Structure 1
């Protein structure tokens, strides 16, 4: 049985043109769509907010869940720009923990480092190992972070309780104080495990505590569970395992920091002073931090990198800026091929993959292999004359200007601030 033909309304091109005409004359002006159908104050989607809503893991590599309906969850802002709203994260409360896991953080300069967040994530694995995993406080443990500063910044990292050390301890290198505080906390709280970052400072404190308390230290943990702790040995060809000991140090980049969680980080008041027992520890006479030449550090170890690309021609200013900032100098492949910097200073997939805290790039366009080398960088600052350069798109802060003009200006500003 045949279907009747569908009736379609005819379109009058003259009428449509007249509806779109806003200015007649020798050169008429036309709208892209009829005025009657034009949308006023149309809400736009914010791509950054959409990516943030879909982000489920930041480190060691960002992972996104695009199945989330971020478009339907958005709310319009005051300016009419569509911003995707992130659903509220429920607060996880461990009211009566069955046991405690201490996370002794470095917190250099008062800032929570990625390594500190990884230590908290490892402690979270031990604390949640005996619970139902839902944060109900039944049968599980609680993570107690110990560092200078408040615990507000540690709530989203997985901290249930926080013990604040005196702020002055962050400036002076006195490992006896932190070791004595750890021993005092072990006596007062009787934790099941105590975790340290496997760093220069954290490893030093952990070994002092182990020697004084007579406890075995399992260093460089790379895999952790309630019943087993593992680490790589023999160049990564062998795995060493042991039941989790009381004292352990956590290797860098072995655990992904937690994301999408919110705990209490409630301040924990102690009746006993944290410096009790400091006199029984061996002391260092005249200990201080030695100044290190930034260019003597390898690119994989430094936290601040000043990098140059093909857009840099004033190499004298580049060297002076690196000295003024205290940054490790590096460059793109073009710069190293030209002989301006040694080959071991090359950043990229064919050079060194860096994970610095800050990467300041001058005159780098942003080739794919170079962008692969800075995937793990936390903050990128780019200076380039091309507004549409890939490095500008990757950067958290961009300066669209000539590198030869910006570098001397930064040097003058740094020297003025120091004299002031």
Structure 2
């Protein structure tokens, strides 16, 4: 008599919650942020050629290179050339608010004409108030609003470009007061920075409004901030004027708003009529090497692949970058120990990190987790730093550094 075959139990692989959380963690500044879905790991996938992908996505080379990563050519052409499958990134839909119920103004600093990480956080906080009831975010700063569309701006008021060079807080305060009268916004948010907080207090004094400073938690019905070293929390209903603390809100990613320009002459005229009360104000020149690695925005780092230290020092001076290095460099005595980047050194969060001759050890990569843009120069195409970088140059550092110095001097001479 035939015996029935036993039913084999179906074993399921045990889920590791710590591994799933680590796969979903994205560090933004000093506050970790979790993705909704974990990043899928590639299985038996051949390494992609970043230069071929970038060349296929290039749609404009002059005057500034532009890339379209959603083009079919970036996936189909490269996949046919190297024999790998590359998924096409779906285009981000444009979010348009035709008739907003109310407006939320975001008065940005935009130092040096660049949208800082703090500015993006202010826009993210403004979106929390605008999305709660069908409102729109209006950004106010110098320059155009093209760079602010991906940060969450629905409308944009451009201030004169000359205001970015001169420190005249009276002009920005007058423009903000005029916008409060013209647009009647429900809330106005400022970055809690030295310049933004100064303008916010001037506006509050002029308009007779209450200012809630240092907001770290924000909702449609409550704004909170911490005090006494984080042991106490102060809450209040969102006031009309508020300043947003640094690293309190994660910048928005994967969004695309309209950033439609608003042609308003009233705040500009009102601001130009205000005379500065300071006899003269200018930004003092600061030695980049005197800045701490945790505070600087531009870091020039060297690894074991750098042997021409004279060119490395000249390049740091030409770029105005703070010099740093890996542990091997600091152990050899080429740079002091406080200039070491990594898990056993300093965790940096600079806006740009330019690495020469760094292979990319796990401890070093941990130190640059919070960096926004990484540029790597290395002779090894398969180095871990090349994989981490947003822009890679596969070449010898001793050849790239003098060429870059000559290019900088030619541009300055022109």
The TM-score, its normalising length taken from structure 1, stands at: 0.75
* Residue 19 (structure 1) aligns with: 23
Query: Structure 1 residues 275, 301: closer, same or farther in 2, change over 3 A?
Result: farther
Query: Structure 1 residues 277, 382: closer, same or farther in 2, change over 3 A?
Result: closer
Please say if 1:156 is aligned against 2:160: no
Q: Which shows bigger deviation, 166-175 or 95-104?
A: 166-175
Shift of 1:153: 2.9
Query: Structure 1 residues 352, 70: closer, same or farther in 2, change over 3 A?
Result: farther
Q: Deviations over 1:218-270 (max 9, x none)?
A: 22222111122222323333333222222212122221122233333222233
Query: In 1, are the aligned partners of 2:324 and 2:341 still within 8 Å (CA)?
Result: yes
Q: Which shows bigger deviation, 361-370 or 341-350?
A: 341-350
Give the match's secondary structure for 2:138: strand
Query: In 1, are the aligned partners of 2:350 and 2:372 still within 8 Å (CA)?
Result: yes
Residue among 300, 318, 321 paired with 2:312: 318
Shift of 1:377: 1.3
* Residue 92 (structure 1) aligns with: 95
Structure 1 portions without partners, runs of 5+:
128-137
Q: Which shows bigger deviation, 217-226 or 116-125?
A: 217-226
Q: Deviations over 1:307-333 (max 9, x none)?
A: 111222332222221111100011112
Query: Structure 1 residues 63, 416: closer, same or farther in 2, change over 3 A?
Result: closer
Distance 1:266 1:11 in 2: 47
Query: In 2, are the aligned partners of 1:157 and 1:262 still within 8 Å (CA)?
Result: yes
Distance 1:149 1:278 in 2: 17
After TM superposition, list the pairs within 5 Å mapping 1:11-410 onto structure 2: 82-127=85-130, 139-270=133-264, 272-276=266-270, 283-410=277-404
Distance 1:287 1:141 in 2: 38
Q: Which shows bigger deviation, 296-305 or 382-391?
A: 382-391
Moved over 4 A (4+): 4-36, 38-83, 277-282
Larger Rg: 1
Query: Structure 1 residues 358, 288: closer, same or farther in 2, change over 3 A?
Result: same
Give the match's secondary structure for 2:323: strand
Query: Structure 1 residues 417, 90: closer, same or farther in 2, change over 3 A?
Result: closer
Q: Which shows bigger deviation, 82-91 or 376-385?
A: 82-91
Query: In 1, are the aligned partners of 2:168 and 2:276 still within 8 Å (CA)?
Result: no
Query: Structure 1 residues 39, 409: closer, same or farther in 2, change over 3 A?
Result: closer
Q: Deviations over 1:187-241 (max 9, x none)?
A: 1112121111222322232222223323332222221111222223233333332
Query: In 1, are the aligned partners of 2:70 and 2:88 still within 8 Å (CA)?
Result: no
Query: Structure 1 residues 47, 162: closer, same or farther in 2, change over 3 A?
Result: same
Shift of 1:27: 62
Distance 1:163 1:12 in 2: 49
Shift of 1:146: 0.9
Shift of 1:24: 60
Distance 1:45 1:264 in 2: 34
Q: Which shows bigger deviation, 267-276 or 142-151?
A: 267-276
Query: In 2, are the aligned partners of 1:46 and 1:84 still within 8 Å (CA)?
Result: no
Shift of 1:6: 26
Query: In 1, are the aligned partners of 2:52 and 2:78 still within 8 Å (CA)?
Result: no
* Residue 6 (structure 1) aligns with: 10
Query: In 2, are the aligned partners of 1:43 and 1:76 still within 8 Å (CA)?
Result: no
Distance 2:22 2:109 in 1: 70
Q: Which shows bigger deviation, 317-326 or 260-269?
A: 260-269
Distance 1:21 1:223 in 2: 20
Query: In 2, are the aligned partners of 1:77 and 1:83 still within 8 Å (CA)?
Result: no
Query: In 2, are the aligned partners of 1:185 and 1:274 still within 8 Å (CA)?
Result: no
Distance 2:135 2:111 in 1: 27
Q: Which shows bigger deviation, 335-344 or 5-14?
A: 5-14
Q: Which shows bigger deviation, 52-61 or 23-32?
A: 23-32
Shift of 1:126: 0.9
Distance 2:250 2:412 in 1: 38
* Residue 134 (structure 1) aligns with: none
Shift of 1:61: 28
The TM-score, its normalising length taken from structure 2, stands at: 0.76
Query: Structure 1 residues 192, 168: closer, same or farther in 2, change over 3 A?
Result: same
Query: In 2, are the aligned partners of 1:173 and 1:288 still within 8 Å (CA)?
Result: yes
Q: Which shows bigger deviation, 295-304 or 11-20?
A: 11-20
Distance 2:30 2:369 in 1: 55
Query: Structure 1 residues 405, 191: closer, same or farther in 2, change over 3 A?
Result: same
Query: In 2, are the aligned partners of 1:212 and 1:281 still within 8 Å (CA)?
Result: no
Distance 2:348 2:103 in 1: 35
Structure 2 portions without partners, runs of 5+:
1-7
Q: Deviations over 1:260-303 (max 9, x none)?
A: 33333222233624342666686222111111111111112211
